[in-house]
């Protein structure tokens, strides 16, 4: 994937249409052809449905409500009710946890995941959810912070460093950009200095930090617990 001349352009991949690890294969997920799953019933005529999936089955890792739907139709439907929080993760050293962050952001229906630093990242951990989740790239933390403030978002950096406040007792802004550092170094100095709010996750064991993918899931779920309509969950 080559670098885009627009550093804030959405991230795309030349392999977006290629089969992924949870798509099109014979796995535990999904359903067979419509004729086998619904014998005697006519094929749906709704334009949301994909003729190929109806004929061959749908083995993608999607919820039942989206079975047999075209991918663009799924994305369009998700766009009607995405949550107003964004997630950003620094990628100055090719962090291996970005795929997990993207997959979790998709599960909690974040608006966009922002990759800061290097453009390339390992998509395997995303388990194809990057095809349904909006992604955006920024070259630097400063560029990301400017974008967030222009969009009316409060930047919430996450790290267990001096000066942070406990996530467990801190109200999270509804329109927030949740910013995470890399495994090992944590958030960069620029993120710590320019964020509007710095929070930490309570820990009680011998390790000084937890995996950034796990941390991102904890903080995203804290936002969900505070702001989401739980009746709308699958």
Q: What is the pLDDT of residues 186-213, one digit of tens each?
A: 899 999 999 999 999 999 999 988 999 9
Give the domain extent around 97: 85-232
State whether 93 and 57 are in the same domain.
no
Looking at residue 182, its pLDDT comes to 85
Of 2-6, 15-19, 25-29, 34-38, which gets the smallest average pLDDT? 2-6
66-115 tens-digit pLDDT: 999 999 999 999 999 999 999 999 999 877 899 999 999 999 999 999 99
Helices 212-227 and 98-107 cross at an angle (nearest 10°) of 20
Number of domains composing the chain: 2
State whether 121 and 53 are in the same domain.
no
CATH number at residue 104: 3.40.1280.10
Looking at residue 10, its pLDDT comes to 54
State whether 119 and 223 are in the same domain.
yes
d(CA 117, CA 140): 6
d(CA 127, CA 206): 31
């Amino acid at each position: 994937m080559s670098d885009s001349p627009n550093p804030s352009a959405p991230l795309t991949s030349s392999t977006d249409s290629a089969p992924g690890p949870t798509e099109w294969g014979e796995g535990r997920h999904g359903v067979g052809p419509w004729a086998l799953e619904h014998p005697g019933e006519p094929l749906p005529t709704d334009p949301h449905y994909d003729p190929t999936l109806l004929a061959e089955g749908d083995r993608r890792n999607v919820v039942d409500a989206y079975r047999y739907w075209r991918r663009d139709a799924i994305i369009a439907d998700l766009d009607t009710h995405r949550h107003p929080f964004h997630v950003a993760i620094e990628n100055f050293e090719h962090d291996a946890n970005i795929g997990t962050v993207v997959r979790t952001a998709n599960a909690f229906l974040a608006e966009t995941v922002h990759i800061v630093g290097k453009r390339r990242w390992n998509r395997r951990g995303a388990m194809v959810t990057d095809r349904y989740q909006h992604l955006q790239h920024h070259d630097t933390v400063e560029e990301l912070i400017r974008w967030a403030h222009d969009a009316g978002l409060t930047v919430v950096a996450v790290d267990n460093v001096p000066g942070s406040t406990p996530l467990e007792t801190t109200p999270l802004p509804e329109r927030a950009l949740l910013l995470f550092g890399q495994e090992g170094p944590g958030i960069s100095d620029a993120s710590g200095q320019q964020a509007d709010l710095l929070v930490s996750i309570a820990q009680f064991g011998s390790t000084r930090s937890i995996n950034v993918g796990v941390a991102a899931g904890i903080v995203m779920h804290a936002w969900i617990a505070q702001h989401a309509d739980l009746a709308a969950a699958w």
